Amino acid sequence: MKTYNTSNVRNVVLLGASKSGKTSLAETMMFEGRIIDRRGSVEAKNTMSDNSEVEQINQRSIFSTLLYTEFMDTKLNIIDTPGSDDFVGGVFAAFSVAETGILLVNATQGVEVGTEIFARHAFHHNKPLIIAVNQLDNEKQDWNATMESLNKAFGKKIVAVQFPVNPGTGFDTFVDILKMKKYRYTDENGTREETAIPSDLESRSMDLHQELVEMAAENEEKLMEAFFDKGVLSEDEIREGLKMGMMKGDIIPVFCISAQKDIGVKRLMEFTINTTPSPDIVKAELKDGSSVDIDVNGPASLYVYKTSQEQHLGDVSYFKVMSGKAVEGMDVINPETGDKERIGAIYAVAGRNKTKVQEICAGDIGCTVKLKGVKCCQTLDEPDCDWIFKPTRFPDPKFRIAIRARDSKDDEKLGELLNKASAEDPTIHVLYSKELRQTILSGQGELQINILKWQLNNISKLEVELYPPKIPYRETITKVARADYRHKKQSGGAGQFGEVHLLIEPYVEGAPEKTKFRADGMDLSMNIKGREEYPLEWGGKLVFYNCIVGGSIDARFMPAILKGIMEKMTQGPLTGSYARDIKVYVYDGKMHPVDSNELAFKLAARNAFREAFRKAAPKIMEPIYNVQIMVPSDCMGDVMSDLQNRRAMIEGMNSEKGFEILNARVPLAELYKYSTSLSSLTSGRATFTMKFADYQQVPSNVQEVLLKNYQEEEKEE
């Protein structure tokens, strides 16, 4: 395989809802470039991209797959991505290395949920889009309805570059508005006849051509002047105007194809190569906010956008050459870790087929194997270059569940496998919570987690189970209370004795210090000798006051008293959750000249704190999340009603591009499997994000249930 210069490389990502035909299109594009001799199909389980067992069983793309084809003296890198938003991590990773998106629309469905979702992702990443309306050979296709749905979804950005002449089961002909030619396909191998537009289609073609010319002219002043002067633009001028409009996000050209029958695919590839940006006309953004040219003459620098473990190869690192050249045997440095690496074999990738090459130039994409410590989203530089490219910003998790091995002996193995899964798909988050004593698995949706579970059970042969995660509640107090406790134990020889009197009150940021209190009908005045403030790793604070006078407790026992209180803060008296935001005043006690020791005072303090806590009108606090939901207007009522049932507080609403945006504060306890419920309520048309906001007190009826449940758990234990 030859080495391609940067200007002769195009990087595209295939987007679209499930069953829109992305994998079939990728097969045909490779067939047109003669990278493969025959096209596979999803049904026959022999495609180049959907080549894992789990993808073949589910007959859908689950992982993003790098492919390439060679066409018109250009290398076209193609990243086939999953159609489910649960696996959107592959899409985000692809956007970090591809310059253009090709969005497939199923002609039998029109604009679907996935169409809207993936288009939003492309706009967010400032990527130009081409729309390919696929499956026009299906008897249930509806070109006109599809175009109406596109215009409704994307407005004035839509412009038809082609229209089908005979859509339906006999589809084999379309008119190309850009070239003003009719194309008829004579077989299913892309063989085509190019003829003049017949008279009965001429008027329609001219109207659409005029619309195309006007949209192209609007994006460049020189083209606008040429259009006013001549009333027409050349084919090259139209392409230049379309290119500029696409890069601004103002134009989305629409093509008509049948990927399975290889109708229109060659024209789509020609347009992609002639019109979409090559890597050398865009900038690569660095982590510090600056940018560099993608230049083959610059220092060698690679960006690893994906890692995976593959049979027979081991660790595989997929990268884009951001500058210079990647050459077999070159030494590079990871600027984030300082680790040195050596690039071994370099491959051009067509799914499961990998072709060894000697070098890859700036802008091109490939892979290498057996790098020692390189992770996804890291940079590799030649010595004396310290660039770090801006890492991919993956979406925050919105599905949370607990996972465990059926056999506790496999816990360590499970941890290793989960960490590997997270490295391959950064949208999967793994956290062992000491507080909850659970391994919490977070991701984009239930389907993503279920696929991971299948892989653990069937590929790694590790039986695991998923179960509801606990909620990281917090406990605090709402009023002043006091208590004392004497720990006394005699067991022959030296005994244990320690007595602690303490008072607690809520901690409020910025509140003035107090020295006089009333508790249990007693007026207490504190003589503060020492104050220690401890920010807690789980949030909030503990403020510890030493108010001992007269030597009733020796100073050497104060650390033990603090330790006893802190132990109870880590396992609150109400539900065993962390306690927070409490002031503790130790003001009196007793000790024994022989039997007093640190253990005795630690136990006395712990029990005194527990007793005072229960008298101080304790409250359970729950994590609250800011949730933003993008929902179609016709589903608004159902979504609002569901949120109210989840104790949500609606904070605002606004509209954006045909969607309603709901902002709400929702308790984490009410968000279990919310992604699944929202998808069910809206037929998958709504999406949401969630971010931690703060802790708020739970309602009294909810607290009663939590206390009861905790008491029952303690009895069972």
644-671 pLDDT tens trace: 999 999 999 988 766 789 999 999 999 9
Read off the CATH number of the domain in which 660 is found.
Answer: 3.30.70.240
pLDDT of 493 reads 66
pLDDT of 224 reads 84
Instruction: Indicate whether 536 and 450 sit together in one domain.
Output: no
Rounded to an integer, the average pLDDT of 221-236 is 84
- 229 pLDDT higher than 90: no
Distance from first CA to last CA of the chain, Å, rounded?
A: 66
Extract the tokens encoding 528: 């503060």
Instruction: Indicate whether 171 and 35 sit together in one domain.
Output: yes
Sheet holding 252-256, edge to edge: 65-71, 74-80, 9-16, 100-106, 129-134, 252-256, 158-160
In a domain, 598, yes or no: yes
pLDDT of 657 reads 64
Instruction: Indicate whether 559 and 435 sit together in one domain.
Output: no
Instruction: Indicate whether 200 and 306 sit together in one domain.
Output: no
Instruction: Indicate whether 601 and 631 sit together in one domain.
Output: no
> 381, 413, 442 — which closes off a domain?
381
53-54-60-64 Cα dihedral, nearest 10 degrees: -90
Q: Tell me which range, 205-214, 487-496, 679-688, is most confidently predicted by mean pLDDT.
A: 205-214
Instruction: Indicate whether 130 and 179 sit together in one domain.
Output: yes
Read off the CATH number of the domain in which 324 is found.
Answer: 2.40.30.10
- 684 pLDDT higher than 90: no
Other residues' Cβ atoms within 10 Å of the Cβ of residue 289: 7
In a domain, 300, yes or no: yes
Instruction: Indicate whether 100 and 42 sit together in one domain.
Output: yes
In a domain, 237, yes or no: no
In a domain, 147, yes or no: yes
Instruction: Indicate whether 108 and 64 sit together in one domain.
Output: yes
- Three-state DSSP string of 400-465: EEEEEECCHHHHHHHHHHHHHHHHHCCCCEEEEECCCCEEEEEECCHHHHHHHHHHHHHCCCCCEE
The pLDDT-based confidence of 430 (bands split at 50, 70, 90) is very high
Average pLDDT, the chain: 94
DSSP single-letter state for residue 198: P
Extract the tokens encoding 364: 């091109």
- How far CA 679 is from CA of 26, 323, 457, 650, 687, in Å, comes to 29, 42, 26, 20, 8
Q: What is the spatial distance between Cα 561 and Cα 99, in angstroms, rounded to a whole number?
A: 62
CA angle 263, 264, 265 (to 5 degrees): 95
Q: What is the spatial distance between Cα 349 and Cα 344, in angstroms, rounded to a whole number?
A: 15
- 717 pLDDT higher than 70: no
Backbone angles phi, psi at 120, to 5 degrees: -60, -40
pLDDT of 658 reads 65
> 617, 647, 671 — which closes off a domain?
617
In a domain, 713, yes or no: no
Rounded to an integer, the average pLDDT of 496-508 is 96
pLDDT of 685 reads 80
Length in residues, the chain: 717
How many structural domains does the chain have?
A: 5
Q: Are strands 464-467 and 325-327 parallel, antiparallel or unpaired?
A: unpaired
In a domain, 717, yes or no: no
The pLDDT-based confidence of 223 (bands split at 50, 70, 90) is confident
pLDDT tens per residue, range 621-641: 999 999 999 888 888 999 999
- 715 pLDDT higher than 80: no
The pLDDT-based confidence of 221 (bands split at 50, 70, 90) is confident
pLDDT of 76 reads 98
Instruction: Say which residue the tokens 């940079």 belong to.
Output: 379
Rounded to an integer, the average pLDDT of 84-110 is 96
Instruction: Indicate whether 484 and 439 sit together in one domain.
Output: no
Rounded to an integer, the average pLDDT of 681-703 is 91
In a domain, 432, yes or no: yes
pLDDT of 51 reads 82
Instruction: Indicate whether 355 and 435 sit together in one domain.
Output: no
Range(s) of the domain holding residue 290: 284-381
pLDDT of 713 reads 78
Instruction: Indicate whether 586 and 691 sit together in one domain.
Output: no
The pLDDT-based confidence of 52 (bands split at 50, 70, 90) is confident
* 194, 180 Cβ separation under 8 angstroms: no
Instruction: Indicate whether 500 and 579 sit together in one domain.
Output: yes
pLDDT of 492 reads 65
- 148 pLDDT higher than 60: yes
Residue of higher predicted confidence among 240 and 226:
240
pLDDT of 683 reads 84
Q: Classify the C-alpha dihedral 243-246-251-252 as positive or negative.
A: positive
pLDDT of 68 reads 98
pLDDT of 96 reads 96
Give the containing element (helix H, strand E) for 572.
none
> 451, 470, 489 — which closes off a domain?
470
In a domain, 600, yes or no: yes
The pLDDT-based confidence of 687 (bands split at 50, 70, 90) is confident
Q: What is the spatial distance between Cα 635 and Cα 662, in angstroms, rounded to a whole number?
A: 12
pLDDT of 586 reads 97
- 494 pLDDT higher than 80: no
Read off the CATH number of the domain in which 460 is found.
Answer: 3.30.70.870
- 313 pLDDT higher than 90: no
Rounded to an integer, the average pLDDT of 617-624 is 96
* 139, 169 Cβ separation under 8 angstroms: yes
